[in-house]
Structure formats: structure tokens, C-alpha cells
């Protein structure tokens, strides 16, 4: 699939971009001609490896360490990109956290950390970039959700709740900012070969595969191709949408 030509020269920010789907999104955006920046929180070695892999493809990326739930960090990242690039055209709220725990073992601090990362972080970064997008009357925001936000499947309750909140944020924000030519959509992956799919015990994966008509887990490139479409001018009339990429679960 050829990358959308209109992404050439776009200014893209991906949260949680140092590994997994986030890194694959950075790579796909860079290949499509966008300038790329990503945030990361915990592992300097992951960020270093991500930069090296992007640079090996001729993609120069800016990176910023900090928590997406820290409003000061968010302001600093967006201010730095406005100074370096003049603004952000494409925001991908990808940073996410989960713990595979039953509710009886979820502490209040666990709940807060998952909700802050998965929902509050998307709110803070969206709010920060929207000032420039509204001024330019253009922009794309893509939130990375999960099939558990509305499918009747077993998932950690704090993770499922945070992803449901992210869908509500997507729909409400799309209605609010559509008048400025800005789209806000949600991409909801099913279980992938990486990420949560690699953390689950085999019996949970088998349960998923039994419910999945395609009888397999998803691959990262299958997500990034759809993400590029939603971030492009080809999707200019798509907003407030949830695109499930879950094999039909």
C-alpha cells in the first residue's frame, strides 16, 4: 500500500513511540514523508534503539521523555515542537498502560495510573496541540483505543474503563472541533502479536482466537496502514469514528 502523498512534510507527534505500535507508527509516518517526534516515559535504552532504527531509514526523529499525564511535560513538548517546526499537524495518542490483574488485586494507585496514562494523557496532549490546529483550521488527532472498550470480552477492568473513556473523548472532541476542519478518530486494535497479546497467558489468547473469525492475532503493519489513512486527506470526511481492527471479534 503506497503511503498517502499528502503526508509529505507534515509534522507528526506520537506519544509512547519508543517501541511496539508507537514505534511502528513513527516509522510509517517517516516513510510517508512526515517529520516525526515521539514521547517516552521509562526506558532510555528503548528510546535510543528507536532513534537508531528510524535514523537507519533516514528518518530524523525528535524525542521527549516524560509522563503523558504530566501537564508540565505536555506543555514543554508542544512548545518545543512549535519552536522547532511551527506546530503539530498530526497527533497520535498512542501511549498506553495495562496490568493483567483481577479487580480484587487492583489498588487505587493502579487504577489512577492506568486512567491517567490512557485517558488523561490523550486529553492533555489533544488540548495542547488544538490551539495551533484551531488557529490553522486544520489537523488530525488519532487516538489508539482497544476492542475491549465495547466488546464483551474479559479484560482488566481499569484498562477497559480507560479505553471506554478514550472513545467518549474521541466522539465529544470530534463534534467540538469539526467546525475548524479538524478530525478526531479512534483506531481500536484487537489482540496483536506484540503488546498486550504478548503479556497474556496462552489460554486467554486461545479464548480470543476462538471468538475471532480470522483465527489469528493482528500484525502491526495492518494497524499502521489504516492509521496513515485516517491521518491523511483521504479521510477528511471521517471524524468521530471508531475503526476496529480485531479480526471480527
Q: Each residue of 103-155: pLDDT tens digit?
A: 888 899 999 999 999 999 999 999 999 999 999 999 999 999 987 655 545 67
Number of H helices and E strands in the chain, helices first, is 9, 7
21, 189 in Cβ contact below 8 A?
A: yes
Residue 203: its pLDDT value, please? 82
Residue 196: its pLDDT value, please? 66
Instruction: Write out the DSSP string of 35-60.
Output: EEEEEE-S-HHHHHHHHHHHHTTT--
Report d(CA 179, CA 137) in Å as an integer.
8
Distances from the Cα of 225 to the Cα of 76, 84, 205, angstroms: 30, 27, 24
| Nine cell digits for residue 83 | 519552536
Confidence (pTM): 0.93
* Structural domains of the chain sorted by starting position, each given as residue range(s) with its CATH number in brackets: 6-245 (3.40.50.720)
Residue 56: its pLDDT value, please? 96
Distances from the Cα of 69 to the Cα of 21, 73, 177, 228, angstroms: 20, 8, 22, 25
Compute the chain's Rg from CA coordinates. Answer: 17
Q: Which of 40, 64, 125, 159 is catalytic?
A: 159
Residue 211: its pLDDT value, please? 86
Residue 149: its pLDDT value, please? 52
Known catalytic residue at 159:
yes
Torsion of CA 205, 210, 211, 215, to 10 degrees: 80
Residue 154: its pLDDT value, please? 64
Instruction: Write out the DSSP string of 153-209.
Output: ----HHHHHHHHHHHHHHHHHHHHHGGGTEEEEEEEE--BSSTHHHHS-HHHHHHHH
Q: What is the mean pLDDT of each run of 10 residues along the chain (249 residues)?
A: 74 96 96 97 94 95 97 98 97 90 89 94 98 97 81 73 94 98 95 74 84 90 95 97 89
Amino acid at each position: 500500500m503506497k503511503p498517502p502523498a499528502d503526508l509529505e512534510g507534515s509534522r507528526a507527534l506520537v506519544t509512547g513511540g519508543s517501541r511496539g505500535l508507537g514505534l511502528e507508527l513513527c516509522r510509517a509516518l517517516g516513510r510517508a514523508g512526515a517529520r516525526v517526534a515521539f514521547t517516552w516515559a521509562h526506558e532510555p535504552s528503548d528510546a535510543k534503539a528507536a532513534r537508531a532504527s528510524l535514523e537507519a531509514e533516514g528518518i530524523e526523529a525528535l524525542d521527549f521523555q516524560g509522563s503523558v499525564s504530566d501537564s508540565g511535560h505536555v506543555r514543554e513538548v508542544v512548545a518545543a515542537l512549535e519552536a522547532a517546526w511551527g506546530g503539530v499537524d498530526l497527533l497520535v495518542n498512542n501511549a498506553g498502560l495495562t496490568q493483567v490483574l483481577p479487580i480484587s488485586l487492583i489498588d487505587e494507585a493502579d487504577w489512577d495510573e492506568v486512567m491517567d496514562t490512557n485517558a488523561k494523557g490523550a486529553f492533555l496532549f489533544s488540548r495542547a496541540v488544538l490551539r495551533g490546529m484551531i488557529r490553522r483550521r486544520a489537523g488530525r488527532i488519532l487516538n489508539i483505543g482497544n476492542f475491549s472498550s465495547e466488546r464483551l470480552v474479559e479484560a482488566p477492568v481499569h484498562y477497559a474503563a480507560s479505553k471506554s473513556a478514550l472513545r467518549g473523548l474521541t466522539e465529544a472532541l470530534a463534534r467540538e472541533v469539526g467546525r475548524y476542519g479538524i478530525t478526531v478518530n479512534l483506531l481500536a486494535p484487537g489482540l496483536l502479536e506484540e503488546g498486550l497479546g504478548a503479556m497474556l497467558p496462552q489460554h486467554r489468547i486461545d479464548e480470543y482466537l476462538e471468538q475471532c473469525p480470522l483465527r489469528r492475532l493482528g500484525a502491526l503493519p495492518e494497524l499502521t496502514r489504516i492509521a496513515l489513512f485516517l491521518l491523511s486527506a483521504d479521510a477528511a470526511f471521517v471524524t468521530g469514528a471508531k475503526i476496529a481492527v480485531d479480526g471480527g471479534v
